Amino acid sequence: MTPDRPPSRLRRATAWYGAVSDILTPQRLALVAGALALGAVGIFGGWDAVSDADDEVPTYGSGAEFVATPFEVSTQRARVFDELAGAFYAEDGYRYIALLVDVTNTSDRPVPAYTLSESISLDVHGVRTIELEDGPKQARPTILRGIDGLTQYTFQPGLTTNVVIGWQQEVSAAIPDDATIVFSGNIWRRSTLDDSLGWRDPVPAARVTLPVEPLESEDES
């Protein structure tokens, strides 16, 4: 049974902000954070070291397999389409660029799909963003199961799942010949804020560059 088209396309972006004391004002926090960042850069060799580390992230193509902890990923193809009935419905003025991949949870515990969506980004002009207090941020992609188009909520330990990862792109932007997706790896650690355990601190682990192919309709196939 085909799900009904979502009744609303309003953006669902929510930002949470914590309170600080009179001493830890936002201005002072910004100064401290800036000083720490500059100090860390200097200790590890300056801005050239940061650039070199970014350049060392390996780049892959179609059919490649790599690890972006806690996931092992096998890439397939990238597609572009306006909508996919029962699965992907873009907001007005947007289309979809989607990535087809096989994802395996290599950990010994279930991993929520948002861990993956928070750890990947699409390097394409015109990707939809959300407005936050500190500026625009690329909107998290939608992750659906390839077998039935239903939402992928959790990756189970040791299981491989075929998923479609979709980003919205402005229709006014050119459809790219190819797309680059950056996958970041995470570490399992306890939060210093609420003491909860989770996958955190994403660091780029792999770049995937794939040609962007149009999704043929049933009439064209």
Alpha-carbon distance of 164 to 180, in angstroms, equals: 15
Q: Is residue 112 domain-shared with residue 73, that is, in the same domain?
A: yes
Whether residue 11 lies inside any domain: the answer is no
Q: What is the predicted pLDDT for the residue at 215?
A: 79
Q: In 3D, which of 133, 124, 70 has the Cα closest to residue 96?
A: 124
Name the range with the highest mean pLDDT among 13-17, 24-28, 88-92: 88-92
Helices (H) and strands (E) in the chain, counts: 3, 15
Domain range spanning residue 50? 22-56
Q: In 3D, which of 4, 157, 195 has the Cα closest to residue 87?
A: 4
pLDDT (mean) for 146-154: 96
Q: Is residue 109 domain-shared with residue 180, that is, in the same domain?
A: yes
Tokens 């309709």, located at residue: 217
| Mean pLDDT computed over every residue of the chain | 81
Per-residue pLDDT tens digits for 175-194: 999 999 999 999 999 999 99
Q: What is the predicted pLDDT for the residue at 185?
A: 98
Q: Kindly tell me if the per-residue pLDDT of 31 is higher than 80.
A: no
Transcribe 114-179 into DSSP letters. HHHHTTEEEE-TTB-EEEETTEEEEPPPEEEETTT--B--EEPBT-EEEEEEEEEEETTSPPPSEE
Query: Which residues are CB-contacts of 118 (< 8 A; sequence separation ≥ 6)?
Result: 140, 202
Would you state the structure tokens that stand for residue 92, as one six-digit string?
């007005």
Number of structural domains the chain divides into: 2
Whether residue 127 lies inside any domain: the answer is yes
Q: Is residue 85 domain-shared with residue 37, that is, in the same domain?
A: no
Query: Which residues are CB-contacts of 76 (< 8 A; sequence separation ≥ 6)?
Result: 62, 63, 99, 100, 101, 102
Q: Is residue 210 domain-shared with residue 178, that is, in the same domain?
A: yes
**At 201, is the pLDDT very low, low, confident or very high (cuts 50, 70, 90)?**
very high
How much of the chain exceeds pLDDT 90, in percent?
A: 67
Q: Is residue 111 domain-shared with residue 28, that is, in the same domain?
A: no
Q: Are strands 197-214 and 71-81 parallel, antiparallel or unpaired?
A: parallel
Q: What is the predicted pLDDT for the residue at 217?
A: 55
End of a domain among 14, 36, 56?
A: 56
Would you state the structure tokens that stand for residue 78, as one six-digit string?
């990238």
Tokens 């396309």, located at residue: 9
Q: Is residue 71 domain-shared with residue 104, that is, in the same domain?
A: yes
Whether residue 179 lies inside any domain: the answer is yes
What pTM value is reported for the model? 0.73
Q: Kindly tell me if the per-residue pLDDT of 14 is higher than 80.
A: no
Q: Is residue 84 domain-shared with residue 52, that is, in the same domain?
A: no
Alpha-carbon distance of 162 to 152, in angstroms, equals: 10
pLDDT (mean) for 123-146: 94
pLDDT (mean) for 31-56: 47
Look up the CATH number of the domain holding residue 121: 2.60.40.10
Q: Is residue 74 domain-shared with residue 179, that is, in the same domain?
A: yes
Per-residue pLDDT tens digits for 106-118: 999 999 999 999 9
